[in-house]
Amino acid sequence: MTVAFRVVTDLAAPPERAFALSLDIGAHERSMAATDERAVAGTTAGTIGLGESVTWRARHFGIMWRMTSRITALEAPHRFVDEQVRGPFARFRHEHRFEPSAGGTRMVDEIEFRAPLGVLGVVAERLALARYLPRLIRERNASLAAELADERGGAGEAERGDGTGQGAASSPSAS
């Protein structure tokens, strides 16, 4: 079963800057500090580009995981796609879109994933991953927004979607 979700984040920076920061390996590591995520192979510093891959090592659910992703599409400064080529998922695809908005950039993350292990994977998707992954993306986006705000010396982010001001991700859908 494939699970899909979307997270929308408004950033107080132009699309070109938000796009560039999202491709920066160091920014990704800083945004995932809580999971001790590190680039350990492939492109491990600087900006990752089309066709390049990175292997991440991170702790999730108390276990160290490795996942290699490749940039399979890149249309600066509008969108890029990273897809797992090796790792814990049967399938993982993350499309990042950057749309100009009145306040700077509307960043839209659309993620599709499928856990391995058949029925056991479906159980893991429903009990843990469908809630955990949207929260992880929201935390990453909040970190990127804070970094952009620090660059500009002001407020940097307002997620939207649920009206609570707590961040937004649509309910995961399964197919």
- For residue 77, cis peptide bond before it (omega within 30 degrees of 0): yes
Computed over every residue of the chain, the mean pLDDT equals: 89
**pLDDT confidence of residue 15:** 98
136 to each of 37, 41, 132, 140, how far by Cα in Å? 12, 22, 6, 6
Residue 172 has pLDDT above 60, yes or no: no
Per domain, the residue ranges of the chain are 3-174
Both tokens of residue 86?
């090796």
Q: What is the pLDDT of residues 81-135, one digit of tens each?
A: 999 999 999 999 999 999 999 999 999 999 999 999 989 888 888 889 999 999 9
Q: What is the pLDDT of residues 22-59, one digit of tens each?
A: 999 999 999 999 999 999 999 999 999 999 999 999 99
Q: Select from 3.40.50.2300, 3.40.50.720, 3.30.750.24, 3.30.530.20 the CATH code of 3-174.
A: 3.30.530.20
